[in-house]
Amino acid sequence: MITILEQRQNLRRQQQYTRETDIYQNNQRNQKRRKNDVLEKEILSKIAVNLPYFALNNLEETVDGFFKANIPIEQPLGCEISPITAGETSRHLAILGSCAIANNEKKKSAKNYHLATKAIYKRHLTNVKFEKLFGIAKIEEVNKRTKKAYTQLINEKQEIITTLDVEYTLLSKKLFEKQFQDYKIDLRNNNKNLDIQKNRQNFYTKLLNLPSIENSDDLSFSVDLGVINSDMCMGHFPKYPAFPVAFSANIITSLSAVFLKENIIKKNNIKILGKSSVIHAYQLLFAGTDIQIKCRLKNQKGNIFTFEAHFLNKENTIINFHYELIAIST
């Protein structure tokens, strides 16, 4: 029979063990956090994006060779289906792929511009239950100047929500600045088009203020997006502000949703799910570029709509989209 003294001793030992376990686990978490912070700092010194466009958390290289990060949700869903918009998914996963490439580069001090030239997006799960979202990336070297990243958006159960395969062209800092010197804008010294205080706000957390659809019919529409402003490029190539290709996906998805509601489905109670897309980016959309959008409905099968869209400057295609949207009644 255990005496009261022995019970107290057992309780003290258990409490001591619990305290030591908590201290050990806390030290492990702090050590991992410090390691992740060092890795993030190193990665950001080697890629050409920073805050607020860069928003990944807890960057780490896994034992099986993947690059992993926590994926935040910053932008309101608007017309799209939970948990995260197709454009924001593409933004975070494309950056994660860029981080994986930078981490794999042999020259620790080398800084390159990773220009996304092609992306293939696929949504795999419609109804998603999640508490946290994660991104994982694996890279493939095509040649010295071309890299590919195979990325996934997953939940804590390791269920694949979305995949994004991205192809990048790599330019050294020196070559990029020489090639695009005419587009250099130092926002610290040039605030004619952008108030400095406004620049400190996060453009990527807001719903888009969409322009009006023009010249629409049953199959097509066009939009004058106007001049790309520097506040639409924050953190995306500092001193050479360029509108992110991933964020253009938000624009085209939102405009297509308006077109479907007004011209095809003629109902307001629908939400949009981005099913798939193939994006080709032929040039950078630097601040100051005037952009028009032309979009055409290519096919409809039930509630699945296939579109083709072009972002144009002076009738030259800058970005080309082929994409499928699912319209879901709410």
Structural domains in the chain, sorted by start: 45-329 (2.40.160.210)
For 242, other C-beta atoms within 10 Å of its C-beta total: 22
Q: Which residues contact 17 (CB under 8 A, 6 or more apart)?
A: none
Question: 180 with 284: CB under 8 angstroms?
Answer: yes
Q: What is the pLDDT of residue 198?
A: 45
Q: What is the pLDDT of residue 40?
A: 85
For 267, other C-beta atoms within 10 Å of its C-beta total: 12
- Which amino acid appears at position 309 of this protein? A
Any idea what DSSP says for residue 80?
Answer: B
Rounded-to-integer distance, Cα 159 and Cα 178, Å: 44
Q: What is the pLDDT of residue 330?
A: 79
As given in the structure block, the two tokens for residue 327 are: 């319209």
Q: Taking phi first (over 0 means left), then psi (-120 to 50 degrees means alpha), and beta for anything else, what does residue 314 get?
A: left
Question: 308 with 321: CB under 8 angstroms?
Answer: yes
CA-based nearest residue to 86, from 233, 257, 223: 257
Question: Mind listing the pLDDT tens digit of every residue in the chain (330 residues)?
Answer: 567 666 676 777 777 777 766 665 555 555 555 556 667 888 888 998 989 999 999 999 887 888 999 999 999 999 998 789 999 999 999 999 999 999 887 666 678 999 999 999 999 988 877 889 999 999 988 788 899 999 999 999 999 999 999 999 999 999 999 999 999 987 655 544 444 444 456 888 888 788 888 877 889 999 999 999 888 899 999 899 999 998 899 999 999 999 999 888 888 888 999 999 999 999 999 999 999 999 999 999 999 999 999 999 998 999 999 999 999 987
- Residue ranges of alpha helices (H) inside 45-114 are 86-104
Q: What is the pTM of this model?
A: 0.86
